[in-house]
Structure 1
Amino acid sequence: MRVAVVGATGNVGTAVLRELGRREEVDAVLGLARRLPDTDADPYAAASWRTVDIGREESTETLVDAFTGVDAVVHLAWLIQPNSKRDLLRRVNVDGTARVLAAAAEAGVERICVASSIGAYSPVDDDEPRDESWPVEGVRSSHYSVDKAAQERLLSEFAATHPEVALSWLRPGLIFQEDAGAEIQRYFAGTWVPVQLLDRVRPPFVPLPAGVRTQVAHADDVARAYAEAIVRGARGPFNICSDEVLDAEAIAGIVGTGRTVPLPPAAIRPFLTAAHRARVLPMDAGWLDMAMGAPLLDTGRAKRELGWEARVSGSDALRILLDGMAEGRGASSTPMRPRTGAPADPTALPPEDHVVPETVDATLLRQYLSDHILGATGGMDRITAMAEECADTPVFADLSTVAEAIRQEHAFLTALTERQGFLAPGVSAPLARVGEKLARFKPYGRPPGKRSPSSLLLETEFMLMAVTGKEHGWLTMREHAAELGVAPEVFDGLLEDAREQKRILGDVHAYARARVFRT
């Protein structure tokens, strides 16, 4: 069986690739994503890859071509942010699903499994488990829930008009794994919440919405359900989660010391709204509304028809996630990137016992490396913000590619500095980040909140200058590779990467300058 996975680089997609790699029934896997992962790293190395942006109308032709000769499609792609770009979310999540289904049918795919969610269900006010017959009208105040309900209507219509296709869809609860720690923090908690302290300090009290209860699943368990659905040719919806119900007391016992402070949801909601508008929290109040109204799930159908049952308890899945959040864990894809960037390759670093030679002025070397770390910090924040701002444009994938490369370089420089026996930049790094954010307040001739066509052009020019400066930095370090304890070939590779980044940014600049003075 040849399987195509759309959205193969996120939390579930990464787990699905792992699972498909273990399946004897699966001969080949094709991964599709807007931004390609590190295809030399597991589990991404086991798949072949194609780029596609399902939010764009022209993607249908690409999808048909990719699906030709494929036996099954697993559709996981879903955009959670940015919340402010409602039209973009709808184009990717709902219209994108329609394109995937239409392309699969045109290509003659016989089996499809799609990611739905517990969020599609209509709200309840009790703790009675619901099976798949419960209505899927969603929660109106949650954009995620509204789009999931709309997607469910598409799925039902497609199943009725294409009985020749075995179409199934899964409705999982919360999905956790250790390597999703940094991703889930970015999507929901943001950088202001000190989750990295959880491995050392457990809060004595955990404030939680009164009456909260939830069911979760480990990503590997969810991945098994997707694999079973396509292998068995299943049809229709399936609830997927651990049967264990986590209430406020259980959550507080895992997150903290067992004591909880129940807060009325109505009192929390204005706080979430204000924090989201102030960009302190990525999640908005709609997520609270959906969480409080979501039903408990009856997984009987999955057990009967898929032979599926959760192997990891809800409590253990939450503990695993918390460990991953504390460590900032991730994987080698842009959605799953670790909190501090990709870990530096140990083979590229000096040996543990490396000592700066006496012929080198350690003070000057320390300052030089520190300045380049600060430059990489500012460049990393700027290019990340540029990519987020251009999420609905054709250059999003290019900007994200450069952003991921700069994150990895930042991690390498930090590790290289530490191996020299130097401390990483102290107060300078936070100040550099604040300065970069303040610089982005420039309106470029447009009122606040409205994107100017000249902002992308000028910021791309800034990044081109920064990459050129970085290129000369790698040249300098290459000439002093022996003193740094690094093989010269490492800097040769970084130089090649810098030239590729300049080429990509040149393409972005061409796109921007063609539109810069439009009325």
Structure 2
Amino acid sequence: MTRHTTPPGPPGAAHEAGDRGLRVVVTGATGNIGTGLLGLLREDDRVGSVLAIARRPPGTPPERAGDGDGPAGATARDDKVTWLRADVCQADLVHHFEGADAVVHLAWLFHPSHRPSVTWRTNVLGSTRVFHAAAAAGVAALVHASSVAAYSPGPKEHGVDESWPTHGWPASAYCREKAYVERVLDTFAQDHPAMRVVRLRPGIVFRRESAAQQRRIFAGPLLSRRMVRPSRYPAMPDVPGLRFQTLHTDDTADAFRRAVLTPVRGPFNLAADPPVDAKMLARVFGTRTLRVPARPVLAAVAAAWRLHLVPTPDGLLEAVLRMPLMDTTRARTELGWQPRHSAEETVEEFAAGLRGGAGGPTPALADRLPGGGRARELATGVGERT
């Protein structure tokens, strides 16, 4: 990997931190985007040190890998990254943020989807704690991981820019939480004009190593590797509105790195071309398309979710059918960001990861849960784990 010696963007864009290099804090560092970002920060000469915060850092004992409780503290360290086991809802974040040049906030819960009060606590109240702790610690830059899911319903024929309303889709807890945090940041940025506040709004982020985690989050234990092999499906459902954007984890991580190092503010859309639709999915999975109405598909997902057969409620699928396509001009011009992977390449890589049961190096990305894999997923409640 190339080591960077000048900032991406205007000369002198990076915050001057002396010989020590920038000190960056990353919350939610064990997830899909977090692990990709840590790799880039490790290789960047302008970054001197990284504090990686997670509820389950690498090396967490298996008996603790399913929870975020217990004593917090540094658990591992390499030449640039120090790991801290901590929950953003409980930890003394001001203490951990002191001396940092930038905080990148990635920590987010998808589950338990049947208990939205739990996800709200981490995603909204935890995020608010992160923002205010960064201000109290005197951090110069805050980079927050928002999402296309924060956007209100919009067009599928062309992209919208960052001024599109961010009220989410009310039937989805995930969208409501992403939209609410956008409102929190509106007020926060006004109250802290000296802090550089950046919001990145990526499409759906995939890579091979995220396959096992995202299968657990979105599809559950009943989706087998055999089911995603080419030609296993008689047809790919072509539901009205099924047109969305995706991008590779490496490209997403690069945008976050640039947001840390470039003197930009405000929101940025992130996506790769072309948009994903039923025809592309049919090519990837070696089948044909079949046009079906949305209502029975949503009803089937809703029934499966209520029966704890799938972890994702129908509201999130409905949001995908309604969310707009995004225009990424601002990220390309102001961040100097350009995705290296096309959307179809990304989907093909992710599909290969599903077929192979691929996972990553952290507890969050592991190819199977400790103590039983898919059987443990069923035993602990589909859509109930945190």
TM-score, normalization: structure 1?
A: 0.64
Q: Are 2:307 and 1:278 aligned? A: yes
Decide whether the 8 Å contact of 2:229 with 2:285 is kept in 1: no
Q: Does 1:232 align with 2:266?
A: no
Residue of structure 1 equivalent to 2:52: 31
State the shift of 1:204 in Å: 3.9
Aligned counterpart in structure 2 of residue 177 of structure 1, from 197, 207, 211: 207
Determine the C-alpha separation between the residues in 2 that align with 1:223 and 1:125.
27
* Corresponding residue number in structure 1 for 2:43: 22
Cα distance change, pair 109–186 in 1 and its aligned pair in 2 (3 A): same
Answer with 193-202 or 323-332: which moved more.
193-202
Match of 1:223 in 2: 253
User: Offset of 1:208 from its aligned partner?
Assistant: 3.6
Give secondary structure in 2 for the equivalent of 1:335: helix
1:113 aligns with 2:134: no
2:88 pairs with one of 43, 54, 57: 54
Per-residue CA distance 1:459-478 (angstroms, 9 max, x = gap): xxxxxxxxxxxxxxxxxxxx
Counterpart of 2:186 (choices 156, 163, 167) is: 156
- Say if 1:211 and 1:248, in contact at 8 Å, map to a contact too: no
The answer on 1:205 being equivalent to 2:235 is yes
**Amino acid of the residue matched to residue 128 of structure 1?**
H
Aligned residue number for residue 143 of structure 1: 173
SS at structure 1 position matched to 2:176: helix
CA offset at residue 128 of structure 1? 2.2
Per the alignment, in what secondary structure is the counterpart of residue 158 of structure 1? helix
Change (3 A) 1:23 1:114: same
Q: Which has the higher strand share?
A: 2
Cα distance change on mapping 1:38 and 1:387 into 2, 3 Å: farther
Structure 2 CA distance for aligned equivalents of residues 287 and 129 of structure 1: 20
Report whether the alignment pairs 1:381 with 2:376: yes
Larger Rg: 1
For residue 199 of structure 1, report the CA deviation from its aligned partner. 4.5
User: In the alignment, what sits opposite 1:255?
Assistant: 285
Structure 2 CA distance for aligned equivalents of residues 159 and 280 of structure 1: 41
Match for residue 6 of structure 1 among 27, 33, 39: 27
**Contact 1:55–1:95 (CA under 8 A) maintained in structure 2:** yes
| Cα distance between partner residues in 2 of 1:256 and 1:383 | 29
What are the ranges of 5 or more consecutive residues in structure 2 without an aligned counterpart?
1-21, 61-75
Segments of structure 1 that go 5 or more residues without pairing to the other structure are 342-375, 392-519
Query: What CA distance in whole angstroms lies between the structure 1 residues aligned with 2:362 and 2:369?
Result: 13
Tell me: higher relative CO, structure 1 or 2? Use CA pairs within 8 A at least 6 residues apart.
2
1:295-444 matched pairs, under 5 angstroms: 295-339=324-368, 377=372, 381=376, 385=380, 391=386
User: What amino acid does structure 1 have at the position aligned with 2:83?
Assistant: W
Are the equivalent residues in 2 in contact too, given 1:113–1:229 (CA < 8 A)? yes
Q: Verify the 8 A CA contact 1:7 1:13 in the aligned structure 2.
A: yes
Quote the sequence identity (%): 38
Mapped to 1, the partners of 2:184 and 2:56 lie a distance apart of 26
2:52 counterpart SS class: strand
For residue 32 of structure 2, what is the amino acid of its counterpart?
N
Q: Secondary structure at the match of 1:13?
A: helix
2:101 corresponds to 1:71 = yes
- Distance in 2 of aligned mates of 1:147 and 1:21: 31
Letter of the 1:48 counterpart: T
Partner Cα distance (2:273, 2:339) in 1: 8
Structure 2 counterpart of 1:36, one-letter code = P
| Cα deviation digits, residues 161-195 of structure 1 (max 9, x gap) | 10111110100000001100100100111111123
Query: Which AA in structure 2 matches 1:32?
Result: I
Q: 1:90 matched to which residue of 2?
A: 120
Once the two structures are TM-superposed, the CA of residue 337 in structure 1 deviates from its matched residue by: 0.8
Secondary structure of the residue aligned to 2:256 is helix
Which amino acid letter does the alignment assign opposite residue 385 of structure 1? T
Please give the alpha-carbon distance, in whole angstroms, between the structure 1 residues aligned to 2:252 and 2:147. Answer: 12
Q: Which amino acid aligns with 2:111?
A: Q
State the AA in 1 paired with 2:320. Answer: A
Q: Which amino acid aligns with 2:332?
A: K
Distance 1:243 1:201 in 2: 25
Letter in 2 for 1:240: L
The SS at the match of 2:325 is: coil
Instruction: State the shift of 1:210 in Å.
Output: 2.7
- Distance between the aligned counterparts of 1:388 and 1:197, measured in 2? 20
Contact 2:230–2:284 under 8 Å retained in 1: no
For residue 221 of structure 1, report the CA deviation from its aligned partner: 0.2
Deviation at 1:217, TM superposition (A): 0.3
* Secondary structure in structure 2 of the residue aligned to 1:113: strand
Instruction: Measure the CA separation in 1 of the matches of 2:83 and 2:113.
Output: 28
Q: Which has the higher helix share?
A: 1
SS at structure 2 position matched to 1:267: helix
Are 1:132 and 2:145 counterparts? Answer: no
Structure 2 CA distance, aligned partners of 1:379 and 1:314? 29
Shift in Å, 1:134: 0.3
- Size of the aligned set, in residue pairs, is 349
Runs of 4+ in 1 over 3 A off after TM superposition: 43-46, 195-202, 376-380, 386-391
- How far off is 1:293 after superposition? 0.7
What is the alpha-carbon distance in structure 1 between the residues aligned to residue 29 and residue 186 of structure 2?
24
- How much has 1:300 moved relative to structure 2? 0.2
